[in-house]
Amino acid sequence: MTLWDKGGPVDAAIVRFCTGNDPELDAVLIPFDVAGSIAHVRMLGRLRLLTAREVARLRRELTAIRALHEAGRFSIRPEDEDVHTAIERRLTERLGDTGRRVHTGRSRNDQVLTALRLYGRETLLDVTEAALALGASAARFAARHARTPMPGYTHTRRAMPSSFGFWAGAFAEAIVDDVAGLRAAWDLLDQSPLGAAAGFGTLLPLDRAFTARLLGFSRVQRNAQHVQNSRGKIEAAVLAACTQPLATAHRMAVDLIWYSTPEFGFVRLPDRFCTGSSLMPNKRNPDVLELIRAACPAVCADEFRIKSLLAGLPSGYNRDLQLTKEPFLRGLRSSRDALAIAARVLDGVEVDAARARAACTPEIFATDAALEAARQGVPFRSAYRAAAATLASLAASDPAANIARKRHVGAPGNLDLRTTRAALGAQGRWVRSTRARIARAMRNL
């Protein structure tokens, strides 16, 4: 029986269409819906809408559902529609009228929002950890190759002397900025929607601050209609934040795909990271890098799908919002997995220092020749033209010595990895402390 059943017949095809693939999607939400339900039950007990015995029985059965889920023995049936119905069905089967009281003062609207916020809050921490792991990997790579020369490129053409340390350090510092965006998105998730009901509150004196504390939220999302209007909007903002570290990984993957080609030969991917062709025995394909490259546009598409679904919706809950769930869950999962594997790949990349050094051909020192003349008093524009006129006769220079001379802040000879590592470490401490705070709340439910 559906939660909205009023006793009259409903076309089965309509029900199947409206249910969609929620029974499959909602499997990951089971422990989070259980947590929200326990908090709601405890709050109803404080209001004396449930007796102490009823609260104890409901908590015991909800905890058992979570254990069954962890053992792979709790399923959401197609006729259940969603996780919320499946859990209430189980409670009613086990506890009778006590199970039927669990939904007092609650709507599926604030119930699903609560489960999605709890899931999103936890999974976004996973994404942040994976991004920080990529940043740490990039910093390690930069330290190992701080003085290993390579050409720097603009417009895909050799430009000026650079180093692998400089290249990797750029990605480490990018992750610092990217994680700042993830933290801002996490803060949007860290507000409790529970108690907003269908978007208009209830006549019951719900203690929303109490349930927020139980679930480890930092605050209550107050206006009940805003709670409903924020569904999809916050999910899209979260995915937008995820696309930033994915964009960093995307560019890194593009570079490594090119640098690992036989034509470049600057780096090598270990055999354990490469796949092959079903037809061509000679192939060592960088499929893993290509899929990392693809993750960013894929999550951008999930973000855009959510935003597109919101277009033209009036205030309050609309069933269109059901379709924001799948891209949100998929986008978070894709972000976490792609960033985690990107860090693993970068840790295994091998540099061919001799090949990269040989690519530092004389013309990439032209800018330095012009600047050296300017240092001697020649107007820079004249020095620029003179260097351009003598490109063919430029002598090769030592690229390692060249990059070592460039010591201003942010130059190849001054990577300042200590500052970058400190920033990554501070973000890592925030993740760990936040996880611990949430874990304490969940244990005390």
User: In the chain, what percentage of residues exceed pLDDT 70?
Assistant: 98
Q: Render the burial of 297-323: b for 16+ CB within 10 Å, e for the rest.
A: ebbbebbebbbebbeeeeeebeeebbe
Residue 4: what pLDDT? 53
Residues with Cβ within 8 Å of 411's Cβ and at least 6 positions away in sequence, in order, are none
Residue 24: what pLDDT? 86
155 is an active site residue: yes
Active-site position among 277, 315, 382, 433 = 277
| Cβ atoms 290, 253 nearer than 8 A | yes
Residue type, 305: R
| Average pLDDT over all residues of the chain | 95
335 is an active site residue: no
Query: Is the pLDDT confidence value at 7 over 80?
Result: no
- The residue extents of the domains of the chain are 12-100, 108-207+221-358+414-443, 362-395
Which CATH number is associated with domain 108-207+221-358+414-443? 1.20.200.10
Reported pTM:
0.94
Pairing of strands 149-154, 157-163: antiparallel
Q: Say how many residues make up the chain.
A: 445
Which pair of tokens denotes residue 369?
């020749």
* Beta carbons within 10 angstroms of residue 282's beta carbon: 6
Which CATH number is associated with domain 12-100? 1.10.275.10
Q: How many CA atoms lie within 13 A of 17 on its CB side?
A: 6
Query: Is the pLDDT confidence value at 2 over 90?
Result: no
pLDDT digits (tens, 9 = 90+) for 405-442: 999 999 999 999 999 999 999 999 999 999 999 999 99
- Range 257-267 average pLDDT: 97
pLDDT band at 79 (very low <50, low <70, confident <90, very high): confident
pLDDT digits (tens, 9 = 90+) for 171-203: 999 999 999 999 999 999 999 999 999 999 999
Question: Of 339, 62, 292, 388, whose CA–CA distance to 179 is shortest?
Answer: 339
Active-site position among 40, 69, 84, 155 = 155
| Cβ atoms 137, 129 nearer than 8 A | no
